């Protein structure tokens, strides 16, 4: 499973507050995807399933969201989004698109 969106949406009580910047993390994810593609191309595995999902993470308050996201490798939250999140109505959520690939050994 890999994230696919470089700018996941942050919402409060169903209203969009802004987006996270995951472009740096996306470089790492793209590198891993290339390695998986190479493994398939070399005939070691075949891809069985390729699906896309939206993963929703829910936070108890804005402080928790800001602290959690600040610890994510390659992810940035702007100062203005962090301030909006800290004073926002609950529930706070991050909506992140992910790709799931299931591989089978050959």
Where residue 1 falls among pLDDT bands split at 50, 70, 90?
confident
Rounded CA-CA distance 63/16 in Å is 17
> 106 with 49: CB under 8 angstroms?
no
Structure tokens at 33: 């995807």
Return the DSSP state at 22. -
Average pLDDT over residues 70-85: 97
pLDDT tens sequence across 53-67? 999 999 999 999 999
Q: 69, 77 in Cβ contact below 8 A? A: yes
d(CA 93, CA 28): 24
Hey, which residues does 93 pair with through a beta bridge?
A: 11, 58
Residue with the two structure tokens 């909006």? 84
Give the tens place of pLDDT for each residue, 28-43: 999 999 999 999 999 9
What is the percent of the chain with per-residue pLDDT over 90, rounded to a whole number? 94
Domain ranges of the chain: 2-105
């Amino acid at each position: 499973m890999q994230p696919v969106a470089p700018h996941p949406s942050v919402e409060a009580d169903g209203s969009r507050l802004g987006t996270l910047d995951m472009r740096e993390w996306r470089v790492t994810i793209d590198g891993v995807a290339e390695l998986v593609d190479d493994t398939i191309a070399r005939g070691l595995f075949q891809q069985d399933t390729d699906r896309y999902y939206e993963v929703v993470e829910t936070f108890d308050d804005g402080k928790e969201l800001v602290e959690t996201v600040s610890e994510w490798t390659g992810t940035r939250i702007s100062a203005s989004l962090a301030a909006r999140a800290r004073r926002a109505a609950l529930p706070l959520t991050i909506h992140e698109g992910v790709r799931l690939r299931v591989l089978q050994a050959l």
